[in-house]
Amino acid sequence: RYAYSSRLKEVDPIPKLWFSLAVLLVCLFSESISVGLVTALVMGALTVGLGGQRPKTVLHFLKIPLAFLIIGCATIVLRPVSEETEALCAFRLLGRFRWGITVGYLRMGLMVFCKALGAISAMYFLSLNTPVTDLTMALERLHVPRLLVELMELIYRFIFVLMDTAGRIRVAQES
């Protein structure tokens, strides 16, 4: 629904696909926190400015990945540390294990968070501005193996079947 209401829906999907892929790769291969943050901001601005999506919509879609990112990055930041390691903060768990946050762990967690956020923003730019039917036709024009494109179409179709079934189950439970 959002892709069909986008101002970029009429733009050829192949340039949008290549652009999103290039931004995704730059973000993933960069070892910089600022690249991830700038990517997230620029792709969000393009989705809102060029695509015409509301900022509230983009932020709504970021909620679920942000929850996973926060939990995942917390496990990177908070780790077991030895007695000799200088930690920003540390505590004992069960009296035996010392857990803490070091500058290195904090930097690594922040870098992973920013890289993933930038990558998600690049993919949201593509998905919120390109209808799936256009995307699958573009993949066929790019000679992506037919089996892969058909699997993508099949999975996309079953998302709606699953949503319909979940809605019917909910109505039945409420009844």
Three-state DSSP class for residue 90: strand
The fraction of the chain above a pLDDT of 90, given in percent, is 73
> Count of domains in the chain?
1
pLDDT in tens, 45-73: 999 999 999 999 999 999 999 999 999 99
Domain with 44 in it? 13-130
Does any domain span residue 94?
yes
Does any domain span residue 35?
yes
Does any domain span residue 175?
no
Taking residues 139-168, report their average pLDDT.
93
Give pLDDT, residue 89: 83
Give pLDDT, residue 84: 79
Q: 152 CB contacts (<8 Å, ≥6 apart)? A: 136, 139
Taking residues 75-85, report their average pLDDT.
86
pTM higher than 0.85, yes or no? no
Does any domain span residue 163?
no
